Structure 1
């Protein structure tokens, strides 16, 4: 299995504790914990920032968005507007699943 390479320093990520998967629009990238801090420092505006997907905050956000998406997509709450909000909420869940399947699953604990 190929090692996961940090996008900032180019070195392999050896443990899951070191891994931070981050998202910026439709891109999901792996970083070392220390390298991600450097990437955050280099971000100058809110539109340039990378959002971490793993860790407690990312997992809680994905769980809340999954519940919201299921509720709005499966019920008739707010009609078409509720369905659109449900689709937008499912975006965060899909990013989290993508990060898990592409990166976290391949890095040993």
Structure 2
């Protein structure tokens, strides 16, 4: 488990993911797309996915809180549904992670809501 640096890693990861999400949403809106953004389009880039992978493996408790925070902020600030952000992050880890399927499923089941935030 990480000590004080874990909160720094959490904040850095949260901002990196939200920045990636923001860039995708802005590009999508500028292109005047009428279709919804897909989880694959919203997936974060490899360095961010690898950082998320590392954080889940080395500080799972804090990672769960961070994932929930990302999901909430994405919904509030960007209008990205909880389901879409969760699926995008899952897909990011499927593509660029050392985490096995069971650990990935457990991490997201514990951290991310299945429905929209109230």
* TM-score, normalised with respect to structure 1: 0.29
